[in-house]
Amino acid sequence: MRLQVLGGFGGESIDCRMTCLLINDTIALDAGSLSQALPIERQAEVHSILLSHSHMDHTNSLPFFIENVYGKRDRGIGIHASEATIYAIRKYLFNNATWPDFTRLPNHLVPVMRFDEFESEKPLTIDGVTFTPIAVDHLVPTHGFLIEQDGAAILWSSDTGPTRRLWEVANRTPNLKALCIETSFDNALQPIADVSLHLTPQTLQAELRKLQRRVPILVHHLKPPCVERIKEEVKKLRNPDIDFLEQGKEYDF
């Protein structure tokens, strides 16, 4: 499986794009920067998008992506998300006030995008890649994903505070090649991390005690103003398994 990091951050600045991973060129995991990071002809190859939750840093590019690929595909774009995320996206984004309801355009029978609801722990397979949504602990209903293809698995946390199920899945998946875990704020912002259900380097360290095996850890979703401090504090953990998920990089698993 080939994973390209289009956006690896929990916010936006000149250097930081919002959360979006491209899998095998055709499937996007979240849509924080799909339209900003790919040429339009490559955006038109993307036919499925999985959304972890409704927050803007994960859905921001969806309206512009849909407009960019409008009329370029025979089949509509499949947007896979939980019931709560679909409700929020319909109500607050594609509501004809913020942006047109593209589930009814060009007509409701053959729309450019369609929603497909997934459930926690029920795997869905797209083009030979299996995604199992794992509920994590964040301000709104949110899922990380176990992503599997050809005997390789990676686990991606999306946004979460201290959580349990994700680590259980990590411990019971023998072919796990990497675990991508969020760390949004530096330690000085612990109170903000706690109320917004995100991790800091110190709560990351506590979370990693739930992992009963060695696996490469890739830290993602840093908030742009915290990047330098988070990197220093993570380095001080002196854990040789920890690295950062690098924006722009392609990973092969």
Query: Considering the rule CB under 5 A, would residue 143 count as an interface residue with Zn ion?
Result: no
Which residues between 159 and 218 bind Zn ion (CB under 5 A)? 159
Write 148-152 long-range contacts (CB < 8 A, 24+). 148/175, 149/1, 149/24, 149/253, 150/1, 151/175, 152/1, 152/177, 152/253
Least separation in angstroms between CB 127 and Zn ion: 26
Which residues between 2 and 61 bind Zn ion (CB under 5 A)? 10, 55, 57
- Can you state the percent helix, strand and coil of the chain, rounding each to 5? 30, 30, 45
Binding mask 56-95 for Zn ion (x = CB under 5 A): -x--------------------------------------
Least separation in angstroms between CB 78 and Zn ion: 22
Residues 120-157: b if buried by 16+ CB within 10 A, e if exposed = eeeebebeebebbbbbbebeebbbbbbbbbeeebbbbb
Closest by CA position to 103, among listed 121, 127, 77: 77
Distance of CA 213 to the CA centre of its chain: 24
Least separation in angstroms between CB 26 and Zn ion: 23
Least separation in angstroms between CB 114 and Zn ion: 24
Least separation in angstroms between CB 71 and Zn ion: 31
Question: CB-wise, 159 or 233, nearer to Zn ion?
Answer: 159
Least separation in angstroms between CB 220 and Zn ion: 10
Question: CB-wise, 161 or 173, nearer to Zn ion?
Answer: 161
103: which 2 tokens?
A: 């589930």
Question: CB-wise, 55 or 80, nearer to Zn ion?
Answer: 55
Distance CA(160)–CA(106), nearest Å, equals: 37
Residues at the contact surface with Zn ion, assessed by CB under 5 A: 10, 55, 57, 159
